[in-house]
Structure formats: C-alpha cells, structure tokens
Structure 1
C-alpha cells in the first residue's frame, strides 16, 4: 500500500513533466498511454528503486525507455515546440514578429528533425525540459562530459543546418 501512495505522490508531482518529456521525445501530444505505462513500470519496479537518483530522474529514465519501445512500434511524427524559439527573437510580439516566429519555428523544426536521435534527446532534456547536466547524464546513462559534448555538437549541427537553409541564427550565443 505504501508503494502505491509513493507512486501516486510522484504522479501528482511529476506527471506533467513526464507528459511533456514524452510529448517532446515522441513528437506526439497523445502520450497519455505512455505516461500511464511509465507509472505502471515504476510501480512494478519500485522495489528496485534504491533512491540513488531523484525520483524525477528515475521516472524520466523509465519514460525514455518507454518512448524508445513505443517508437520501435510506430514511426515518429515530426514536431518541435515553439518554446525553444523564445531565445531566438524578441519577447515583443507584433503581427510581423509573430509571422517571423512561425517561419523560424518551421525552419528550426525541420532542422531539428534532421539531427540524429542522440542530439535531439540531449537538446530536449537540457534546453526544453531544463534538466541539469548531472540529471541528464543519469537519464541517458552517459557521463556528464558526454552530455556537455553532445549538447555542444547538437547546437553546432543545428546552427549549421539553419545556416545552410539561409537562416542566420546563433543558438550557441543565445543559450550560453
């Protein structure tokens, strides 16, 4: 009974984060079944949870594996959130700037989907979800150095793709 209570508390506390992560990771918004799968797996594996990682980190690791399993069954749909473009343009939104935002979103969206999966994963966790380098390393099963290096390479690759499309965007300067 105690484990059910803990999972229920974690669902209340981290359910939205898990949902958002899965939506970004899979490229779909209909991830309710995957969220349910994550917490079902967590309930089944709770006896193996040793508390070395934060519960959110452990749940995001489960979410990653559930998403990968799901992606093996069906093709990933392309989608990229508008929130990432917040650092690309001014916060002042005129109709013209809103149009530019949509155009930039489309360009970043297409370029992001050309990146290899590991680049997309680290960008989602670090830049969209705001997960620390340490926690990202735990989720992905990587070293912190690999997370930092992969993020740096992903940003460079995204910049290169945007430049090749004729878009002058300096992601690295805007993020760091």
Structure 2
C-alpha cells in the first residue's frame, strides 16, 4: 500500500512518467551534481503542436491516448539517467545529464524524425505528432527555475517560428549571476 501511494505521489497517472513535483526534486539533485563536477546538463521543454485541434477533432480520449503514446516514444528513446516528466497539459520536460546543447538537439531531432515517420493510429486515423522544443544548457550557478525559464522562452520562439522545430536558448548573461 505504501509503495502504491508513493507511486501515485510521484508519477503522472495518464503518461506513467514523473509528475512535475518529482521531476523538480530529482532535477535539483542533478543540477547540484553538474555544478559540483562541472558536467554538461541540458534541459528540454517540449510541447505537442496543435494539441487542442486533436482534442477538438477526435475528442479528449483520443487526445489522452495521443499524449500517452507521445510520452511512450520519449521513454523508449531516453537513457536511464535522463529525467522525463509531464510538465503540464501537453508539455513534457526532459533533463539530460552529461549532455551539451548540441547533443540534446541531435537527440530531440532524432525523436522528431521518428515521431513523424511513426504516426499514432487512433480511431482509424493516423496522427503524425509534431512538436516544438526549447533547449537550455546549464551554466554554473543557474537555478532550475532559470534553466526552465530559458527553455520556455526558446520553446515560445519555436512556436512563433512556425512550430515543429527545436530552438536552443541563448546562454544567460553574466550580469544575471
């Protein structure tokens, strides 16, 4: 019973991945490790493009199934050391330890290509899940909140630039630290 309660407290029930609270707890430990050892660390914020249209056209059950399949595609590709969570709505977040921003971009683009070439079949409809992503690379002394904020700005830029793409966040100026 205790293990079941712990699972409900730490995981998103729809996707089976970490929830936001557990992600933050684990990600702060990874940031401390990156700071201590000088390792690269990349954070990726991902949003399914036009998700509302999927819900509107096919219904929320189909949207939920598409979101669960989308999460499963990331789970299949990520490394055991990577942290993956549902951030909110159709947004997911990924923390990639010992990974620089270019390596993170290569990983995201590999998953994007696979997602486009492997449509999700729901109610006899084939949905190619497209997504936008923002990547931020950790800089020494940066907080998780700052890292997420930079990835969110890059994600917003990807959406503004036409969606279905990845944007790497600018590094913070030294005036911020």
Q: Same fold (TM over 0.5)?
A: no
- Structure with bigger helix share is 1
TM-score, structure 2 as length reference: 0.38
Q: Which has the higher contact order (CA 8 A, sep 6+)?
A: 2
- Structure with bigger strand share is 2
Structure whose alpha-carbon radius of gyration is higher: 1
TM-score, structure 1 as length reference: 0.38
